[in-house]
Amino acid sequence: MTGFLENTVNQKFREIYSYLERERKIKGKSDIAKQLGTYNHVINSILKGKRNVTVDQLNKLVEIYNVNANYVFGCSQEMILGEGVSGHAPLDDSTFLGRNNITLVPDKAVAGYALSKESHDYMATLQKFSIPGQEGNLIAFEISGDSMLPTITNGDLVICEPLDRGEPLKDNSVYVIVTDVVVTKRIQQIRDRNRITKLRLISDNDAMYKPYDVDLDEISQIMKVKCRLTNSGIN
């Protein structure tokens, strides 16, 4: 699926751009470039199919222009939330299993998630979307920082499956660990008399970030990273 963004998301970006320009919600490439935190020539390259939209740019597009994230990923005919704007013929909902099944936690909402993940009201404020082939109730986190380089880069989205407490874990695999903060790390299980008491959290960028241990009792949630959405596709 390495061409997913190029074939789907970039195409949807072009459709959204045309709609925003037609409805005079933007004044042109320089206007939307400023809003998305980039440059005129970058928008021009995306529209010409020479460059991929970044996760950060998509995040701002969704927030600033009230774009339906599900439309961006090709899973809905509604382009703008609440307006029923469609850029193509209606899609049959049965085509997409688990529609709106991924809750997006952008970087600025991560701290709030750690404190309020069990609050239905808080979770309802977060946007949901779907990706073909990713089913079940999943959580997507926007990664900030370089601790997991080169495996996960700044701005990537990791799509995770929440695990039940006591569910088996796999050493050296990547998980999202929630305490009073949310981190993405490789883990090693530390045992005391055959009972797991701690997790050692390991950064792939080990030259800059040293491993550290967290007591199992301090962990409120563990999520298995199923895949990551990068600027070049889904891995």
pLDDT digits (tens, 9 = 90+) for 21-61: 999 999 999 999 999 999 999 999 888 888 878 777 888 88
The per-residue pLDDT for 81 is 82
Please tell me the total number of residues recorded for the chain in this structure. Answer: 235
pLDDT digits (tens, 9 = 90+) for 100-153: 788 989 888 888 999 999 898 898 888 887 776 678 889 999 888 899 998 888
How many C-beta neighbours within 10 Å does residue 97 have?
Answer: 13
Domains of the chain from N-terminus onward: 4-93 (1.10.260.40), 102-234 (2.10.109.10)
- pLDDT higher than threshold 80 for residue 6: no
Phi, psi (degrees; rounded to nearest 5) at 160 = -125, 150
pLDDT, mean of residues 191-211: 94
Residues whose CB falls within 8 Å of the CB of residue 167, separated by 6 or more in sequence, listed in order: 222
Q: Give Cα separations from 27 to 39, 65, 95, 96 (angstroms).
A: 14, 13, 36, 35
What gap in Å lies between CA 16 and CA 12, rounded to an integer? 6
How many C-beta neighbours within 10 Å does residue 63 have?
Answer: 14
Tokens linked to 131? 């990706």
pLDDT digits (tens, 9 = 90+) for 161-185: 999 988 999 999 999 999 999 999 9
28: nearest Cα among 10, 16, 40 = 40
pLDDT digits (tens, 9 = 90+) for 53-105: 877 788 888 889 988 877 887 667 788 887 655 554 333 333 333 457 889 89
- pLDDT range class, residue 229, cuts 50, 70, 90: confident
Q: Count, in order, helices (H) and strands (E) of the chain.
A: 8, 10
DSSP 187-228: EEEEEETTEEEEEEEE-S-TTT---EEEEGGG--EEEEEEEE
Residues whose CB falls within 8 Å of the CB of residue 55, separated by 6 or more in sequence, listed in order: 142, 155, 156, 157, 229, 230, 231
Model confidence pTM above 0.85: no
Greater confidence (136 vs 5) lies with 136
The per-residue pLDDT for 5 is 44
